[in-house]
């Protein structure tokens, strides 16, 4: 999420044309290409080097005007193409606010009720808990209070489409009591997106494109990895691999689209901020009622904070979640924001509605904390607050956390040397199934064990100790995944446990071969 670029005359002309089309007045090109606060560019560039972020896009909106839009760094390490205000990034979970807005539009049209059961729009919708199935509402889907932990393997890299993911969620046991606490949940957002699809008669993707992207002039934005075909100004995803920044593959998460599949440049996302700060009004047209924008920016459930949260933002006292947005206080002002992380990208959209200012930060580095630090820097500059080196202090905290994690790992039970598997390789082969996640297939190939899960996850199993192995999937975003076989009293494998985006246990399917007696 970082880049370095100055406006070219052609890009400025295009930007002015867009501004004329959507708002009827052209911003000053000179003002838009001039940093709004002296030293901002220098600070961003220095912070990018510290955090080792290849490229970043930044846009600032104030009083319904895009006062700054710029790229820093490069689209891909080792290549010269710079990031511009039109470079496309994956925005990950910052997409959730678009899904909430789509639902809000249908609420305005009296086609959806926030406090209605999703089953009214999705026949057969069911959760593990009958009480939660009966009581859950569309509002609950959008505010992460279903009582469910993530269950990410149902969609992350799986071959299931959105309807099948929603059908399978009935097999995900609750982790907390219904509505008792905040629990981030992507599958519920997939369900909310399917509410939009079933009610509107068009896919979530088409609805977002026609009802949000097109009116806002977000012409370079898309909801699918397929929408990137033919795009030349495209950021490449990156991750740290053995202390080196390297490119990684784009992750196709189209099946989880309403939870996080949007791709966009910062100049497009600046228009999205204008809509939010305008309380649903854009270019003189009321696309969403002010009432529903206020509802999205209203706390729906409290988020408990811990000492780490307070250390990262000592100026915040309260955190909550609205509908598609996180909420917290900062220097006495309300901040409405949402980040996004998908393989190789980190995004952040943040606003101070009372101050009429919003910021977009898009980067092509996996899981970096830099966008959060830069957001606070921009807010401090706007407020005239004492300058604090959020990027430097945040990086120091990160290094301390890494050091603590290494110490904890060193103290944790280690690999037991000299052990071997209970069974010969062929004894672990077979098909293992879970009602939520689908099938894991383990096969023996010349004494080696090969594991496949869904259409995307394939790896050779390396023995660790006893009946535990490690799977190294073809992505540096995931560390080696622990794979543990559980052998029953009869000396045969009963199940396999994967600790990948959460722990999941798959039961061994019966051997289809007929039993042989003696």
Q: Report the alpha-carbon distance of residue 123 to residue 108 in Å, rounded.
A: 22
Identify the CA nearest to 362 among candidates 274, 267, 266: 266
Give the chain's largest Cα–Cα span: 89
Which residue(s) pair with 496 in the sheet? 485, 506
For 103-122, what is the mean pLDDT?
98
| Strands, E assignment, 325-426 | 326-330, 333-342, 345-352, 357-363
Residues 282 and 395 in one domain: yes
Identify the CA nearest to 28 among candidates 60, 65, 62: 65
Q: Report the alpha-carbon distance of residue 201 to residue 214 in Å, rounded.
A: 18
Residues 302 and 390 in one domain: yes
Look up residue 213 and give its DSSP letter: I
Taking only the tens place, the pLDDT of each residue in 34-49 is 899 999 999 999 999 9
Residues 21 and 65 in one domain: yes
DSSP letter string, 309-341: HHHH-TT---EEE-SS-EEEEETTEEEEEEEEE
Total structural domains in the chain?
3
Look up residue 275 and give its DSSP letter: H
Q: How confident is the model at residue 511 (pLDDT cuts 50, 70, 90)?
A: low
What pLDDT was estimated at residue 9?
30
| Chosen domain end from 197, 212, 243 | 197
Residues 121 and 238 in one domain: no
Listed range (346-355, 488-497, 503-512) with the worst mean pLDDT: 503-512
Residue 29: CB partners within 8 Å, gap ≥ 6? Answer: 7, 12, 15, 16
Residues 477 and 376 in one domain: no
For 354-358, what is the mean pLDDT?
98
**Do the domain assignments include residue 517?**
no
Which residue(s) pair with 457 in the sheet? 453
Token look-up 């975003």 returns 477
Q: Report the alpha-carbon distance of residue 483 to residue 495 in Å, rounded.
A: 10
For 351-369, what is the mean pLDDT?
98
Identify the CA nearest to 59 among candidates 212, 209, 266: 266
**Do the domain assignments include residue 460?**
yes
Are the beta carbons of 394 and 374 closer than 8 angstroms?
Answer: no
From residue 59, alpha-carbon distances to 55, 237, 265, 284, 493 in Å are 14, 20, 10, 22, 55
Residues 289 and 326 in one domain: yes
What pLDDT was estimated at residue 23?
38
Domain of residue 434 covers: 425-508
Residues 82 and 110 in one domain: no
**Do the domain assignments include residue 416?**
no
From residue 163, alpha-carbon distances to 169, 185, 208, 329 in Å are 10, 16, 18, 37
Residues 309 and 396 in one domain: yes
| Chosen domain end from 180, 197, 214 | 197
Q: Report the alpha-carbon distance of residue 194 to residue 297 in Å, rounded.
A: 22
What pLDDT was estimated at residue 352?
98
Residues 109 and 178 in one domain: yes
What pLDDT was estimated at residue 405?
86
**Do the domain assignments include residue 344?**
yes
**Do the domain assignments include residue 221?**
no
Residues 287 and 389 in one domain: yes
Residue 14 has pLDDT above 80, yes or no: no
Residue 517 has pLDDT above 70, yes or no: no
Token look-up 């996080």 returns 260
For 120-137, what is the mean pLDDT?
98
Q: Residue 312 sits in a domain of what CATH number?
A: 3.40.710.10
What pLDDT was estimated at residue 512?
58
From residue 195, alpha-carbon distances to 26, 107, 122, 130, 192 in Å are 38, 11, 6, 20, 5
Compare 250 and 413 and report the one with higher pLDDT. 250
Are the beta carbons of 251 and 236 closer than 8 angstroms?
Answer: no
**Do the domain assignments include residue 55?**
yes
Q: How confident is the model at residue 477 (pLDDT cuts 50, 70, 90)?
A: confident
Taking only the tens place, the pLDDT of each residue in 171-230 is 999 999 999 999 999 999 999 999 999 999 999 999 999 999 999 999 999 999 999 988
Residue 463 has pLDDT above 90, yes or no: yes
Q: Report the alpha-carbon distance of residue 279 to residue 287 in Å, rounded.
A: 9
**Do the domain assignments include residue 271?**
yes
**Do the domain assignments include residue 210?**
no
Listed range (113-117, 357-361, 408-412, 508-512) with the worst mean pLDDT: 508-512
Residue 10 has pLDDT above 60, yes or no: no
Residues 89 and 132 in one domain: no
What pLDDT was estimated at residue 32?
61
Residue 388 has pLDDT above 80, yes or no: yes
From residue 422, alpha-carbon distances to 54, 429, 483, 486, 510 in Å are 46, 13, 14, 10, 20
Taking only the tens place, the pLDDT of each residue in 243-280 is 999 999 999 999 999 999 999 999 999 999 999 999 99
Using alpha carbons only, give the angle 330, 55, 237 rounded to the nearest 5 degrees: 105
Q: Residue 476 sits in a domain of what CATH number?
A: 2.40.128.600
Q: In whole numbers, what is the pLDDT of the chain averaged over residues?
A: 91
| Strands, E assignment, 426-480 | 430-434, 438-445, 448-453, 457-465, 468-471
Q: Report the alpha-carbon distance of residue 137 to residue 152 in Å, rounded.
A: 21
What pLDDT was estimated at residue 29?
52
Q: Report the alpha-carbon distance of residue 391 to residue 369 in Å, rounded.
A: 8
Residues 111 and 86 in one domain: no
For 395-417, what is the mean pLDDT?
89
CA atoms within a 13 Å half-sphere pointing along the CA-CB vector of 427: 14
Q: Report the alpha-carbon distance of residue 54 to residue 345 in Å, rounded.
A: 11
């Amino acid at each position: 999420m970082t880049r370095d670029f100055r406006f070219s005359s052609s890009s400025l002309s295009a930007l002015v044309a867009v501004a004329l089309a959507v708002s009827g007045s052209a911003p000053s090109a000179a003002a838009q290409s001039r940093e709004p606060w002296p030293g901002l560019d220098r600070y961003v560039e220095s912070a990018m080097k510290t955090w080792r972020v290849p490229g970043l896009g930044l846009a600032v909106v104030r009083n319904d005007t895009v006062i700054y839009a710029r790229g820093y760094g490069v689209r891909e390490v080792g290549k010269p193409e710079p990031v511009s205000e039109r470079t496309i990034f994956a925005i990950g979970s910052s997409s959730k606010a678009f899904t909430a807005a789509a639902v809000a539009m249908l609420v305005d049209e009296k086609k959806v009720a926030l406090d209605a059961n999703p089953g009214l729009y999705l026949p057969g919708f069911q959760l593990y808990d009958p009480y939660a199935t009966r009581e859950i509402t569309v509002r609950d889907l959008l505010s992460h209070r279903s009582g469910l932990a993530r269950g990410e393997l149902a969609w992350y890299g799986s071959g299931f489409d959105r309807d099948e993911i929603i059908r399978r969620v009935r097999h995900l046991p609750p982790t907390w009591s219904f509505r008792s606490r905040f629990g981030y949940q992507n599958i519920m957002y997939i369900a909310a997106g399917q509410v939009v699809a079933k009610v509107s008669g068009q896919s979530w993707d088409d609805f977002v494109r026609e009802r949000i992207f097109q009116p806002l002039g977000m012409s370079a934005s898309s909801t699918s990895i397929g929408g990137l075909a033919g795009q030349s100004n495209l950021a490449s995803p990156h991750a740290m691999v053995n202390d080196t920044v390297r490119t990684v593959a784009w992750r196709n998460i189209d099946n989880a689209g309403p939870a996080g599949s949007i791709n966009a440049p910062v100049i497009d996302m600046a228009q999205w901020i204008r809509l939010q700060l305008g309380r649903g009004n854009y270019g003189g047209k009321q696309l969403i009622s002010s009432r529903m924008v206020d509802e999205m920016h209203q706390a729906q459930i409290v988020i408990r904070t811990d000492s780490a949260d307070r250390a990262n933002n000592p100026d915040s006292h309260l955190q909550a979640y609205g509908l598609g947005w996180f909420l917290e206080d900062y220097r006495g002002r309300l901040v409405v924001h949402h980040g996004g992380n998908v393989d190789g990208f980190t995004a952040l959209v943040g606003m101070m509605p009372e101050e009429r200012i919003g910021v977009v930060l898009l980067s092509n580095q996996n899981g970096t904390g830099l966008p959060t630090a830069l957001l606070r820097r921009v807010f401090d500059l706007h407020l005239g607050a004492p300058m604090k080196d959020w990027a430097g202090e945040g990086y120091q905290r990160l290094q301390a956390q890494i050091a603590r994690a290494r110490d904890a790992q060193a103290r944790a039970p280690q690999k037991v040397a000299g052990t071997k598997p209970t069974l010969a390789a062929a004894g672990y082969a077979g098909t293992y199934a879970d009602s939520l996640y689908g099938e894991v297939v383990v096969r023996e190939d010349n004494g080696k064990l090969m594991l496949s899960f869904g259409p995307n996850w394939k790896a050779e199993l390396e023995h660790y100790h006893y009946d535990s192995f490690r799977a190294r999937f073809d992505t540096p975003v995931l560390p080696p995944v622990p794979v543990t076989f559980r052998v029953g009293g009869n000396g045969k494998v009963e199940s396999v446990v994967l600790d990948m985006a959460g722990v999941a246990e798959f039961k061994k399917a019966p051997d289809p071969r007929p039993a042989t007696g003696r």
